[in-house]
Structure 1
Amino acid sequence: MTRHWSTTTWIVMLAVSSLLLATLVSLAVIGWMPRPAPPQMRLDHAVQVLRGERAPAAEGMLVTLRDAPPSGHASPWLTQLTAHQLALPVEHVRLVWKGAGNAPDIKVYSRGTPVDALADPEVLRAQGLALAALQWPLFELGVQRADGRWQVLASDQGDVVAWRRQVLLALLGGTLLLAPLTAWAALRIGRPLRRLADAGAAVTLQSSTPLPDDGPRDVQMLAKAINAGRERLRDQAQDMTRMLAAVAHDLRTPLTGLRLRAEFAPPAQSARMVADIERMNAMIEQVLDYARGELEPASMLSLDMAALLDECVQSARLRGVDIHSGLTGPLPWHGDALLLRRALDNLIDNAARYAGTVEVEVHNTGDALWLEVADRGPGIPDGEKARLLQPFQRHESSRNRATGGTGLGLAVVQGAVRQHGGQLWLLDRPGGGLVVRMQLPVKSPQ
């Protein structure tokens, strides 16, 4: 049985493992590679740089001007040798090493007796070539100029440069090793969340497919909580639908009795009573249509969209609607005919109620069907369009007796379009009026 850890556990494990791996790689690179040898300098090259015979950068040296001579530990023999090679008085030359143990202790013996460089210039000249060509630890060589300032030559390299190179190499190696681990962890944590988000975006009360519950334990818990919440919402919505159906049934019985009694009323009152009863029946039916559309999954079957539109147009004409359509030949499609019929009837009735004349157009672009229901009515302000797509929302101008309703017409249309995977727009019509545009993607019969 596979054990699933929480997202927090995965993040902690990734951080700890990354730290350990980076530390091990750095220690391995720095410890395994030999310590770089400390850079050294040649005295004859330094003299040649000060003479202008060599470029300082080519020798890894740097020449600066200072107000004071360089400080450190000196070697009398090498100082005398350098002054001799520079042809300068010894008091104008300063050769020093940093650190007490870095200054070389040079002693010259002649027949077992130490020789002083100042006392025997011939020995100095004899030993000069050999001593100057040797490699010495890093030193600073200062020469006093005529203006009293010191021209100081020193190395521009050190152990820090070499160690910096090794540390950068260690960090680069650690990064290259950590990159696959980080990418794997990101995919391990991110893919289940992405699948859950994609599936959650398409969740409706009608869908019965549960959300994917794979991945880390936290993702599984989230998916299960969403699935359970959707089931509770579906149960509550079904209870609401059953309650609405019971209320509608109970209301229809007295409405039928009122309809019979209205037949015996005076003609003027009878017509008014019958109109009110019919409007109440239409409102009850619209509420039930909305509830059914929200709860019942769409029944996708092969159909002819042109024939469905023609049925809606002919039915509207029988109801006295002035409607014009630009229908072409057959338009085979795949969808729920009942949902689409409800949506089109609502759009046609709304347009006829507010404008009188209705125009219906359909276009097939290959990947989608575009349906448009247009009118020349007062239209809808931009600030009201999003609100009127919600259930039980009515435009202010529809609150009169002639045009008022339940505020479910556009919500029924929105629900039908959403169940078909399409989109709905409420657009201003050039010259005045409203255009309701539906985009329905083409789906192959399953």
Structure 2
Amino acid sequence: MRFRSLPLFWQTLILLIAGLMTAQLVSVLLIIYLPAPRPDFYTMTEIAERLAFDPGADSALVVRHSADEPAPDNGMISDPSITARLAYQLARPIGQVRIFFLADQAEVFPFSRTSGAGAVPIRHGQPYFFNTVLAGVRDPGGGWNILRTPPPSWISVWQQRTMIWFGLTALAMIPFAWMFARRLTRPIRRLAEAVERIDHDRDAPPVPAEGPAELQLTAKALNAMHGRLRTNMRERAAMIGAIAHDLRTPLARIAFRIEAAPEKIRGPVQADIEQMREMVAATIGFLRGDVGMGERQPVDLAALARRLAGEATDTGSSVAISEIERIIVSGDRSALERLLQNLIDNALKYAGSAELIVCRDIDRARLIVVDRGPGIPEEELDRMFEPFERHEPSRSRSTGGLGLGLAIARLIAQAHGGSIRAENRDGGGLAVTVDLPAAA
């Protein structure tokens, strides 16, 4: 079984183990190939040599001349045995030597130590000073040569080494984390995109079963659900087709028998029969999802808007283009034409005129149909896209259609991966906006 098809549990466990092993390997290599850090300390010999102006002494230890005897800072202490050791190395009387230091507080030093609060680590008679030291020796002229060791740094060598280890270990872990995140999120993103296509297009291809085992099971379950939904849709369409076929027969018999009726009765009844036939045909077309999603191809929305506006103007309708920008979308040309035509017809029906706007919003194509009609109450804007919903309450064919125009427009927009919404305009009127993905 390939790694990418393993369950998430095993992928995560393998990543953690690989990361832990990599971190340990980096630490071991650093320990082996890097020299051990030298602690920051000064020995009694280094201090004595520098006070005696030995050229070989550490240049970091600076000796200055002063007429005053060295005075300790707060916290510095002195120990007679340490002073005697310094006087011995300088070959000077103990009264001409001064040494003060900050007591060492380390409890885990492997050397022997003197007793008392001012203890410093001592090995083979050599004191080691890890904190600040102030030492002085009287010169023949009566003044003092004074030496002060530099204060310890805020970040010691071993702390710097530790931070380097942590940094290199984190850098070594980044490729593993990136690879794991990419392998995990890529199939999830593809799954989400495939589910989105299924939501908009009932004929979308199956969801690819790839990635971890859990995502494969999810994809298989979604494909099974999609198959059942398509089967139910086909069965519903077949049932509606049969009902429609059965309705046409009694309508035809009624129309035939009414021929012998007086004109006063025959005319209204025939009009009702014709309206019933149109309602049945429109309802069947909508319930079958017959919104025309054929082969996708590049469609120029600006050219489509210009053509429909020109055709409407040729027939005496008031349709104008107030703003237009050339934008290409990928979709079914006839379905997009039906969408725009439905919006134009709706505006002409309720407002008598329409204005078209085609513009781009980052990676989205925006198509807007506006009018100066009576508008719609805010609480009813979303309901206008539901089937058989009409703002005009009567069902008369002379005052409007069946309320399917905007519902079909929404189906077409969703089938193209877009959305549609309606808003009231300032000063009166309605603006219906369609957002579609713009082609690259």
Q: Does 1:166 align with 2:161?
A: yes
Matches within 5 A, 1:191-206: 191-203=186-198, 204-206=200-202
Deviation at 1:192, TM superposition (A): 1.9
1:137 pairs with 2:137: no
Partner of 1:249: 245
Of residues 100, 120, 129, the one that matches 2:112 is: 100
Note closer, same or farther for the CA distance 1:241–1:44 as it changes in structure 2 (3 Å cut): same
8 A contact 1:60–1:155 mirrored in 2: no
| Secondary structure in structure 2 of the residue aligned to 1:18 | helix
The answer for the alignment partner of 2:24 in structure 1 is 23
Whether 1:288 aligns to 2:289 is no
Q: How far, CA to CA, are the matches of 1:343 and 1:159 in structure 2? A: 72
Contact 2:258 2:266 survives alignment (8 Å) = yes
What is the correspondence of 1:58-97 to structure 2 with a 5 Å cutoff? 58-59=60-61, 65-66=73-74, 69=77, 74-75=81-82, 77-81=84-88
**Equivalent residue number for residue 37 of structure 1:** 38
Aligned partner letter, 1:194: R
CA separation of 1:152/1:292 partners in 2, compared to 1, >3 Å: closer, same or farther? Answer: farther
Distance 1:185 1:407 in 2: 51
- Is the counterpart of residue 237 in structure 1 residue 233 in structure 2? yes
CA contact (8 A) 1:74 1:97 kept: no
Gaps of 5+ in 1: 51-55, 107-134, 145-150
Change (3 A) 1:343 1:264: farther
Quote the Cα distance in structure 1 between the aligned partners of 2:366 and 2:134: 89
Alignment: residue pair count: 391
Shift of 1:229: 1.6
Are 1:401 and 2:420 an aligned pair?
no
Aligned position for 2:143: none
How far 1:378 moved relative to its partner?
1.9
- Gaps of at least 5 residues in structure 2 are 52-57, 64-70, 105-110, 114-120, 137-145
The equivalent residue for 2:108 is none
Retained in 2: the 8 A contact 1:211–1:223? yes
Deviations 1:407-435 (A, max 9, x none): 43211012223445555443445642224
After superposition, residues 98-137 of structure 1 pair within 5 angstroms as 98=104, 100-101=112-113, 102-103=121-122, 137=128
Where 1:398 maps in the other structure, the secondary structure is coil
- What do residues 58-90 of structure 1 show as CA deviations (whole Å, max 9, x unaligned)? 4499x973357357x944631544898698577
Q: Where do 1:180-329 residues align within 5 Å?
A: 180-203=175-198, 204-262=200-258, 270-293=266-289, 297-299=293-295, 305=304, 309=308, 313=312, 323-325=317-319
Change beyond 3 A, Cα 1:104–1:177: closer
Distance in structure 1 (CA, Å) of the matches to 2:436 and 2:124: 95
Structure 1 residue 175 displacement after superposition: 2.2
CA positional deviation for 1:234: 1.2
Against the structure 1 CA distance between its residues 349 and 267, is the aligned structure 2 distance closer, same or farther, given a 3 Å change threshold? Answer: farther
Mapped partners of 1:375, 1:93: distance in 2: 96
SS at match of 1:246: helix
Deviates more, 1:224-233 or 1:210-219: 210-219
CA pair 393-271 structure 1, distance change in 2 beyond 3 A: same
Which residue of 1 is the match for residue 13 of structure 2?
12
- AA aligned opposite 1:187: R
Contact 2:72 2:134 in 1 (8 A): no
Normalising by structure 1, we get a TM-score of 0.67
Correspondence 1:417 to 2:418? no
CA–CA distance in structure 1, aligned partners of residues 218 and 253 of structure 2: 53
Distance 1:159 1:335, change over 3 A: closer
CA 309–368 in structure 1, closer or farther in 2 if over 3 Å, else same: farther
